[in-house]
Amino acid sequence: MAENIVKSKLVNFLVADVDVNYDEIGEFYDDVGAGNVGVLAHVMEAFQHAYGGLWVGGTMVLTRTAIHLNANAMNRLVQDGTLDIEIPIGMIRKVSNEGGFFTKIIRLDTDAGSVKFRCYGAKEVVALIEKMIVPRVSIAVLKRAL
């Protein structure tokens, strides 16, 4: 990414199509004596069904043109699916802050759907993104008026 970074944060982002490699995790559980991986699988599958996906740990990088969500190495080791998401700033129609337990959830609404990620300092991130999308909306409205 050659672009200047406006903000970078450690985040968790919600991914609908993530598949967990329970064989890989099971080997780790066996090595450290952590218990039965089947119990973990049951809990994670129930969570995925209830919430429409799993939270994937990684980073968020905000540039002037896009938001990049990228999974960390541990998640790449044990998960398959969408582990990298790029949302062009021009596609964002609305950004909002939703409740959360320890960290707040940032919701990005686009014409293609919604993307959610959570991090500490979510209010600041929402404010930055809002500043970036407001001028774009204002210019579009102005062009239509002319």
88: which residues sit within 8 A by CB, 6+ positions away?
Answer: 65, 66
> What percent of the chain is predicted at pLDDT more than 70?
80
- Return the pLDDT at 85: 97
Work out the pLDDT band at 141, boundaries 50, 70, 90. Answer: low
Higher pLDDT, 77 or 145: 77
Give 105-132 pLDDT, tens digit per residue.
999 999 899 999 999 999 999 999 999 9
Work out the pLDDT band at 18, boundaries 50, 70, 90. Answer: confident
62: which residues sit within 8 A by CB, 6+ positions away?
Answer: 5, 6, 7, 8, 68, 125, 128, 129, 132
Read off the pLDDT of each residue in 15-36 and give the average, rounded to a whole number: 69
Q: Looking up tokens 């002037």, which residue turns up?
A: 64
Q: What tokens were used for 115?
A: 């993307």
Q: Where are the domains of the chain?
A: 5-18+54-145, 19-52
The span from the CA of 19 to the CA of 80, in Å, is: 5
21: which residues sit within 8 A by CB, 6+ positions away?
Answer: 78, 79, 80
Domain spanning 5-18+54-145 has what CATH number? 2.30.29.30
Is residue 135 pLDDT above 80, yes or no? no
DSSP for 12-75 reads EEEETT-EE-HHHHHHHHHHHT---HHHHHHHHHHHHHHHTSEEEEEEEEEESSEEEEEE-HHH
